[in-house]
Structure 1
Amino acid sequence: MAVNASFVSPTADAKVAHVLEQFDTNGLLSTLFTGFGFWKLVLTVIVTAVAYDQFKYIWNKGSIVGPSWKIPFIGPFLESVNPDFNKYHEKWASGPLSCVSVFHKFVVIASTRDMARKIFNSPAFVKPCVVDVAYKLLRPENWVFLDGRAHVDYRKGLNGLFTRQALEQYLPGQEDIYNSYFKRFVQLSQGEHKGKHVPWMQQFRLMITALSCRTFVGHYCSDEAVKKIADDYYLITAALELVNFPVIIPFTKTWYGKKCADMVLEEFSKCAAKSKVRMAAGGKKECILDFWVDNMIESEKYRKRVEAGEKVDDSEKPATVIRWFSDLEISMTIFTFLFASQDATSSAATWLFQIMADRPEYLEKIREENIKARNGDVHASISLDTIEKLQWTRAVVKETLRYRPPVIMVPYLAKKDFPISPEYTVPKGSMVIPTTYMALHDAEAYPNPDSFEPERWITGDAEQQTKNWLVFGTGPHYCLGQTYAQANLMLMIGKASMLLDWDHQVTDQSEVIKVFATIFPMSYNAFQSIIASSHPLTTRFMAPTASPSERDAERVGPHPSYIEIAKPYILQSRMQRCLSEINMTDAKEDSVRLQGVAWIDQVRRALQLPIRTFNTAVIYYHKFRLLHADNEYNWADAAAAALFTACKIEDTLKKSREILCAHWNLKVGPGESLSSDDPRFENHSKLIIGLERLMLESAGFDFRNRYPQKLMIKLARALRFDASNEAKTTWNLSIDSYRTFAPLKQSTPTLAIACIELAARLHAKDATRFVDTGPVRYSKWATSRAEVMETLLDLLDLYTHHRSVTSVGPLYTLEHFINIRIGLNQEASAANIPRYSQYGFETALNGDSITNGAKPRNGIDPTSPLTPTTPLTLSPGMDQPPKSAIGIRGQNGTVRFMLDAARAHDERAAVEKFHKAEEEEYEVEVPYDTRVDDRDRERARAGRDSIRGHGGSRDIMVPASNSHIKIADTEQTGKYWIKFSQGSKPALQCQHSTKADNLAPLSRQAAKLDTDRYPESEGHEKSGRKRPSKKDRDREKKKLENIDHEGNPQQATTRDHAERMVPVTPTKKRKLHQETRSHPQSKTGLSEQDGHRWKKEREDNNRGEFRGWGSERGR
């Protein structure tokens, strides 16, 4: 069959031609198709694509701020290759919403705090995303790309890796890394760079990589692998820039980044396999990987027992049962941890060191605070609890994160049309990027936002600005490691302040921000904070420190004890800070608080316990929760332990089994009731007993409790309340007040008067009869209207938001409570009464300063972040109770709990007297002698830098500041300034010098002193004269002793001169005061022959004499 393959125009067909003629009446289509060729087709397609791209951009842009037109296809791609922070800031300041379009992506930028929070808290509309190439680098099956329930379940299994108990285990490894790298910093600065100003950002990146790898995968990753990851990780960062091509092209940034990512994933997979083997063999948990694998193993054992039909007690069930993860899955997750921490922490460390160098007054506060926390021992271990109590360290770190936030934008992808505001809806598939920078630089929340002011976190209200604190995000995808990150930075700057001094050469680019994945100082490529500067006057060295064995030898007497002061009252600001430190969200806190108090109330009624036991139990329950995160315990266990402890304190003894049994019987019917000796309560009761100690520690062993009901009844009688109406309501109000934090803040009269007044208002009585008049006169009970008002508002917050779980709430309508609150708010506004009473600072003994104006915690707070309540929940039968909030202090010294703060202050003042060194310093310049021994002269010509002592050894023995004999090297020490102290330890200094100065050895100075003592012996080698005889030397020695006895310091014996020449390099304000003492030659570094000579000289009557070069024994 023949086929006609020739092309025929459609118009050749008569039917088609007829149809075209009907539509093409003016001949336009005929003209268009006539001569229509290839290039005209290409041009038509391009014009159509450009028009469509512009139309789509304008359509998506709508009414929000943005360029009127878009550069065809690429948009602002060329500008984004080298992003300018100022242009970012201009776009943020242009309006709440703005937009750009890069390639095929339409990007909506949210600038305000409220817009950013709405995006963070809208998982139904958006999901986290990064650039397209991230799916190839991180693998599409990575958990960060999960959404919805799958993400929540996966995240729940990871929560246990960042609990306070786990973070406590990571601290020793982190301190080792910092000690090692800080020592390396000094070597690089003083050795390789000769004290010059050099860029230091890359060193911070290397240190943070090593720290992250040590924390995440421990020692499973070799030092070589860590170095390789640190060197190549830059490629991954570059590959994930926002403006890269969406496909991987060979020999581009994305191509190199993909190779590096594969290398890291392979290395972490090997680490996961090693950890599985080690944990299966019962190894000790040291890193995040170990904790994860151990939980997997325990969960697997539990599942096998359940599948076998074995009845497993709740006490043997793991806290969180997770599935088994493959090596690759673990590797991908650990990789995301590294991805999240590497650049952000490097940026924070770079800014932190630079800011501290430019503001040394804050660095000095951090130094003093950290040395005091370690009792003067810079090598002492420190607990997480102690780190978080470092007031200035914490304030500086938080202000640095606010002032220069490491993460300024977080990209999200709209899963569907997102009505972000009433006027604008983000189209599906668009990228939505909220910024955190503007919220952290909001002048209303943080006055003078562009100034670095750590004081705002101590004396200001910055802690209460939780809606603006978006450094770690909020919502379902908030940062898992926010506590870890802040504690890590506090540990880093604290260690650096004690071990290092550094200088920063300020330039006009120092404060300019450079955007690269995160933000760095603009000058990071040319200059960065360094450990020592090039000028001798500003050069500072690493302070000398003693080894652990030396520290033990230096410590005299028992370790000074730690003192914990009992806190009968806890202010609102302190409670807010405690809840923030344990990452307790408002919604979760309300739920746990109300459930726990209800549990205590129900069980104490079942056991017929008096109201005073209820009061004490609730107080202990509240104090316990302020120190322990909710993922460390089960709220029911804490409530049972609090009631068990209160029964002992109030002498209404009940066994833990009886309490658990009473709760069990409340849940079941009469036929299923159990007795207290049932074996199912055995393990659970042991857990309750273990929690008792933590309850007592949390309360500071303070058994002084308050019972407002007794006074309240007396006042009700005095005010002639009806026993069945107002008085009964007052009693129930007092019980409901314990569902708030009011009993922790207020005195007994304040609580009683507040309950009386609220009961009167609820029964529509004249409120003026109960406000500062008659039996409830405030001056009589040492209270104020502000304190009573605060208690009333706490109760009304409770009834407004949680009316159904209270005793009084269901008896009245919501409008009734709202009307009362409106009246109180009007009164407070008219009298200028703050929401929370104004107090002075808490006692400085506890190291915490208190601020006012904390946000309410008794009800729904509109300023609280809506984070998901998916913490690690422990079963009632968990194996072990949570760790003591006291931390590891008890391992190094006794922890004593005291009730009297004044007594503790006096005791500390008395102890400080014995540790205060009073000294008087003298400076003596040792003259330089041109006479030199021939051997020394030849050695100087040869360029040798070492010096010799009187025994001919190449090293000279001098006592060092750490009470041991060390080797002095002139290349490191330079000139000597000899300082004499009377009545205390010698103060030591070292001045920087050049290598030429170091060629004048100590022996020359000693020879000069010898010449001054015996002027007739000068040039004795040339003249052949001998040195003075022993009789002459004895006579001269007596003369010198007589001079010394008269108190002339400049005529001290030559041996005194030598022993005070100690080469150390402390900073100006950290002088080491150590008694110098001689040690056997085994610790001096001398040769055996020199050791015998040293011993002989000590036994000789002339051991006070220093023999210089040219003496007979010196030869």
Structure 2
Amino acid sequence: MIFSSFISASLAAPYMVSALLLLLILEQLSYLVKKGNLPGPLFVPPIIGNAIALVRDPTSFWNKQSAMARISTGGLSANYLIGKFIVYIRDTELSHQIFSNVRPDAFHLVGHPFGKKLFGDHNLIYMFGEDHKSVRRQLAPNFTPKALSTYTSLQQLVILRHVRRWWEEESFSGGSRPVSLRNLVRELNLETSQTVFVGPYLDEEARNTFRTDYNLFNLGSMALPIDIPWFAFGEARRAVKRLADTLAVCAGKSKARMAAGEEPTCLIDFWMQAIVAEIKSGDPAPPHSGDEEIGGFLFDFLFAAQDASTSSLLWAVALLDSEPSVLSRVREEVARIWSPESGDGLITVDQLAEMKYTRSVAREVVRFRPPATMVPHVAAENFRLTESYTIPKGTIVFPSVFDSSFQGFTEPDRFDPDRFNETRRENEVFKRNFLAFGWASHQCVGQRYALNHLVLFIAMFSTMCDFKRLRSDRCDDIVYCPTIAPKDGCTVLLSRRVATYPNLSSN
């Protein structure tokens, strides 16, 4: 019996090998047909494609895609990743065709090549039509002037706490040791997100667990999509589920507090206050306002705010150090408007509005180094992008926000905050090229919040700290983690610049 089974397996083996070879040949042919005349590799490794090259060195991978697209007449290039044909778009106007056609029969925004699996079902970026409009209407109370004013105070308190902590660390004693800001800024931003989004509803233990899970998510977002225990992607997916569950509990607590007539103190409160008011008026609860769904939407906010903000704050420090005249002008403007020794030590909403040059600096940081360099979409149907190329159904499309940021603007390769002043107004003249916050129906709802945070950090950090970048070979090279950051993590010598520190005891 054993011998006959062995003979049968031996006879079947050549057929199995032939079938496998045939499948691999068909895979290559399918890739070449979809690729057409687009620049891209002529041969791709079977099954996994060039995924290993992407995970090993994302910067080099995407630079090559951009370089191939640059020499293409259509500004496009192609590749293959784990069974998925991909198209990279460098041209701004072609990118607009993707952003403007997010709908069930054209493109689906995925946010990550394997985002649906990683983020879970309840996520704003996967919604269309009336469902998407309904949730965005619910979000409107989160970004009113009153709400943004509340967040501004919370943001500053976190920034001040962390700057003081950095001063008090032994490593900063006298500014004598080099320190990489990447992890420090990431911690600052995670606490900011927790405090602004769900502040009163997370105790210290929950915050620590939250931090651990978010770090697991970060690691998994850059890993191969192997969804089994002990692999980074699988651990990240389970961490996202725990984070969304925690945020869902916060939503339930906020609803109860708002129903009791309490005043909003964080983002979830402004959101739940509007929902509770609608229910109290006798209307049914709005669609997608259950705790579990809101938990998923809040994770979407967290992902959008946390890593993008970390990227922008790091580049702000790096660019201010490399442009002493810009740093000097920021300090002069802030000093005319605000002092950490005045009042309660916080910048008021009116003072923030006066910091026009500092806001121009923030805008230029985001243009010059857009945090999310690409926004992946998947083609739900064949889509004719140009006269000569139709994107095949199932293709993952990567419109490049980074490349668009260097098209159209005056001397785009130069860091120049004055391009956004009231005379030149390049933010309006070249508005279509400024895609850092997206475009059309899925444009970032929290962009004013994000810019406020960057302006506040630049103003406070520049006023309160002296810093000197410790430049090393290729320290300004871009790395993905998962948004972009300087290769050296923005390593600086840091020292105290002001004599006194704002008194936070009353806040």
TM-score normalized with structure 2 length:
0.90
Task: Give me the whole-angstrom Cα distance separating, in 2, the residues matched to 1:73 and 1:542.
Answer: 58
Structure 1 residue corresponding to 2:414, chosen from 426, 430, 451: 451
Give the aligned residue type for 2:238.
Answer: K
Instruction: Report if aligned partners of 1:206, 1:231 keep a CA contact under 8 Å in 2.
Output: no
- Alignment-derived partner of residue 56 in structure 1: 30
Post-superposition offset of 1:345: 0.6
Q: Does 1:256 align with 2:214?
A: no
In 2, distance between residues paired with 1:548 and 1:182? Answer: 13
- Structure-1 residue corresponding to 2:315: 351
Q: Report the Cα distance in structure 2 between the residues aligned to 1:138 and 1:438, rounded to whole angstroms.
A: 26
Structure 1 pair 343–545 and aligned structure 2 pair: CA distance change class (3 A): closer
Is it true that 1:128 corresponds to 2:129 in the alignment? no
C-alpha displacement of 1:411: 0.4
Flag the structure with more relative contact order, 1 or 2, with Cα contacts below 8 A and sequence separation at least 6. 2
Offset, 1:547: 4.0
Structure with bigger helix share is 2
Mapped contact 2:475–2:488 kept (Cα < 8 A): yes
Match for residue 156 of structure 2 among 175, 183, 204: 175
Structure 2 matches for 1:756-905, cutoff 5 A?
A: none
Written as runs of structure 1 = structure 2, the 5 A alignment for 1:682-1081 is none
Match of 1:89 in 2: 63
C-alpha distance in 2, partners of 1:115/1:235? 35
Counterpart in the other structure of 1:422:
387
Amino acid at match of 1:225: A
* Structure 1 residue 358, shift from structure 2 partner: 2.9
Mapped pair 1:118 → 2:97: yes
2:179 corresponding residue in structure 1: 198
Paired residue for 2:245, among 246, 252, 266?
A: 266
Correspondence for 1:475: 440
Aligned-residue Cα RMSD (Å) equals 2.6
Q: Map of 1:661-680 to 2, 5 A cutoff?
A: none
Distance in 1 (alpha carbons) for counterparts of 2:10 and 2:201: 68
User: 2:424 — aligned with what?
Assistant: 460
Per-residue CA deviation, residues 743-765 of structure 1 (Å, 9 max, x unaligned), is: xxxxxxxxxxxxxxxxxxxxxxx
- Residue 303 (structure 2) pairs with residue 339 (structure 1): yes
Q: Which amino acid aligns with 1:100?
A: N
Query: Which residue is 1:659 aligned to?
Result: none
Structure 1 pair 40/508, CA: closer, same or farther in 2 (3 Å)? same
CA contact (8 A) 1:272 1:331 kept: yes
1:344 CA drift (Å): 0.8
Kept in 2, the 8 Å contact 1:501–1:531? The answer is: yes
Matched, 1:531 2:505: no
Partner deviation per Cα, 1:180-202 (whole Å, 9 max, x = no partner): 11101111255679730022210
SS, match of residue 266 in structure 1:
helix
Q: Give how far 1:494 is off.
A: 0.9
* Offset from partner CA, 1:691-742 (integer Å, 9 cap, x none): xxxxxxxxxxxxxxxxxxxxxxxxxxxxxxxxxxxxxxxxxxxxxxxxxxxx
Q: Which residue of 2 aligns with 1:244?
A: 224
**Tell me, what secondary structure is at the counterpart of 2:494?**
coil
Q: What is the Cα deviation at residue 328 of structure 1?
A: 1.6
Alpha-carbon contact 2:382-2:393 (below 8 Å) kept: yes
Q: Is 1:68 matched with 2:42?
A: yes
Residues 371, 377 of structure 1: 8 Å contact kept: no
Task: Say if 1:383 and 1:160 are closer, same or farther in 2 by CA, change over 3 A.
Answer: same
- Letter of the aligned partner of 2:138 in structure 1? G
**1:143–1:402 CA distance, 2 compared to 1 (3 A):** closer
Counterpart residue identity of residue 351, structure 1: W
3-state SS, counterpart of residue 179 of structure 2: coil
Q: Distance in 2 between matches of 1:226 and 1:529?
A: 28
Structure 2 CA distance for aligned equivalents of residues 269 and 511 of structure 1: 39
**Aligned position for 1:281:** 260
The DSSP-based 3-state class of the residue aligned with 1:545 is coil
C-alpha spacing 1:394/1:403, structure 2 compared with 1 (3 Å): same
Contact 1:416 1:427 in 2 (8 A): yes
Match of 1:103 in 2: 82
Q: Which runs of 5+ in 1 are unaligned?
A: 1-6, 8-34, 308-320, 533-539, 551-1115
CA deviation after TM superposition for structure 1 residue 159, in Å: 2.3
Q: Distance in 2 between matches of 1:121 and 1:281?
A: 42
Counterpart of 1:497, as a letter, is S
CA distance in structure 1 between the partners assigned to 2:413 and 2:42 by the alignment: 31
Partner of 2:479: 514
* 2:139 equivalent in structure 1: 158
Matched-pair contact (CA < 8 Å) for 1:119–1:126: yes
Max Rg structure: 1
Contact 2:437 2:443 in 1 (8 A): yes
Matches for 1:569-588 after TM superposition, within 5 Å: none
Residues 469, 493 of structure 2: 8 Å contact kept: yes
After TM superposition, give the deviation of residue 467 of structure 1 in Å.
1.0
What is the CA deviation profile of residues 1045-1101 of structure 1, one whole-angstrom value per residue up to 9, with x for unaligned ones? xxxxxxxxxxxxxxxxxxxxxxxxxxxxxxxxxxxxxxxxxxxxxxxxxxxxxxxxx
Partner of 2:280: 301
Q: CA deviation at 1:84?
A: 4.5
Q: 2:255 matched to 1:290?
A: no
Q: How far is 1:350 from its partner?
A: 0.9
Q: Which amino acid aligns with 2:36?
A: G
Cα deviations by residue, 1:867-917 (Å, 9 ceiling, x for unpaired) = xxxxxxxxxxxxxxxxxxxxxxxxxxxxxxxxxxxxxxxxxxxxxxxxxxx
- Indicate whether 1:322 and 2:286 are aligned: yes
* Matches of 2:209 and 2:335, distance apart in 1: 35
Counterpart of 1:924 in structure 2 is none
Deviations 1:381-435 (Å, cap 9, x if unpaired)? 4344542331220111111111111011000011111111111111111111100
Q: Show structure 2 runs of 5+ residues with no match.
A: none
CA distance in 1, matches of 2:366, 2:381: 33
Q: Is the counterpart of residue 494 in structure 1 residue 494 in structure 2?
A: no
C-alpha separation between the residues in 2 aligned to 1:192 and 1:134?
43
The correspondence of residues 552-591 of structure 1 with structure 2, limited to 5 A, is none
**Distance apart, 1:518 and its partner CA:** 1.2
Distance of aligned partners of 1:89 and 1:131 in 2 relative to their CA distance in 1, 3 Å threshold = closer
Aligned in 2, Cα 1:162/1:530: closer, same or farther, shift over 3 Å? farther
Contact 1:512 1:521 in 2 (8 A): yes
- Structure 2 Cα separation of the partners of residues 60 and 546 of structure 1: 60
Secondary structure, counterpart of 1:508 in structure 2: coil
- Do the aligned partners of 1:363 and 1:497 also contact (CA within 8 Å) in 2? yes
AA in 2 matched with 1:435: S
The 1:106/1:547 distance shift into structure 2, 3 A limit, reads closer
Say which SS state the counterpart of residue 503 (structure 1) adopts: strand
TM-score by length of structure 1 reads 0.42
Matched, 1:44 2:21: no
- Would you say the 8 A contact 1:123–1:148 is kept in 2? no
- Partner Cα distance (1:449, 1:131) in 2: 27
The verdict on how the C-alpha distance between 1:44 and 1:432 changes in structure 2, with shifts beyond 3 A counting, is: same
